[in-house]
Amino acid sequence: MCIRATTSLGGTASNVIVGKVAHGLMTMTNAPKPVPDEQCFEAIKAGVDALPPGTKMFLNGGEFYGHNFSTTNLEMIARFFEQYPDYVDKTFLSIKGGLKPGERLPDGSPANLRRSVELINEKLRGTKRLDLFQSARVDPNVSLEESIRTLVELKQEGKLDHIGMSECSAETLRRGNAVHPIAAVEIEVSPWEYGEEAKKGTSSDIIFCNFCWSSSSSIWSVIATAEELNIAVIAYSPLGHGFLTGQIKRLEDIPEGDFRRSLPRFQEDNFKHNFAIVDALTAIARSKNVTSAQLSIAWVVSLGKHVIPLPGSSHAERTRENCAAGDIELSTEDITEINSVINAADVKGDRYAHQAYLWG
């Protein structure tokens, strides 16, 4: 299988060509019992091997993507590159960090950002450059400009190559980019995560989307601002943390210890109600002879040439399926039908139990 669809990153990484669908590595290590290395490695290789020559796979990991905020994700990544050094130059490694150690709280102070970047490099053990660093959230207690200037210093010291942002508003993205060009911004985008602003608007500034772009705290305003500033959008959880695949039909289908058990949208009171959007999207997918997961990823792809879906996968077959979705072409009629489902949906439950640091 060879995937045709590619795109470029932005800012200082504008010359980097990546596959149109990225690969998230969080699920490989964030449970009490991590996925075996061999399975993880085959899943990573499957995505890389599907790309045309000269194209890099955008890999996304995290300093704290291990059980109880451990660094097992970084350690797994290091073992992969130690075992498969030929894949170093075929991948672009993005790592999120910048939380308080052992807590789900952002700390954008110079001291903590330096600690985070240096720990990431220590755990990678020189196997792979830190191509892109992102603070996982925006710290409201520290000047954003000071945080970005600290990352610029770390870049000048050779400890990272490019700077990204995550879970920020359009206004905050613009402020960060004014200090130093931002290569990529990561936000959650999927057919069930489109923001209430989406239902209020009828603007058609983007060819395939009749949604409102006015609010700074909406995915639409972030995407529009990123396009204006030449910043790639890394659209994480395009499958709604797996919910939109249709494979999770009840809470019991999620393993014990999996963080999704704590998500409000997966709770029993919301589960059956939210499955309505899955049924509707599955029907459209069947008519196109694709999976519901591929339909969701293809819809995210349609939002812009600089939008890169970031599904997670710890299985080679699923990785190949996800990557193939980048080549699916949705017609205007297809997107109108999908948008109708999205507009009609009444998704119940917040994204996370901890909402305070979203859209910083």
What string of DSSP letters covers 88-128?
GGGEEEEEEE-BPTTSSSB---HHHHHHHHHHHHHHHTTSS
User: Quick one: angle between helices 144-156 and 110-124, nearest 10?
Assistant: 40
Q: Which amino acid is at 311?
A: P
Helix (H) / strand (E) element for 219: namely helix 219-229
Q: Is 87 an annotated catalytic residue?
A: no
Q: Of these residues, 65, 87, 194, 236, which one is catalytic?
A: 65
Q: How far, in Å, CA of 245 to CA of 294, rounded?
A: 9
Task: Compute how many other C-beta atoms are within 10 angstroms of the C-beta atom of residue 353.
Answer: 11
Q: How far, in Å, CA of 2 to CA of 24, rounded?
A: 20
CA angle 139/142/144 to nearest 5° reads 80
- Mapped onto helix, strand or coil, the DSSP state of residue 164 is strand
Contact 129, 161 (CB under 8 A): yes
Provide the annotated active-site residues: 65
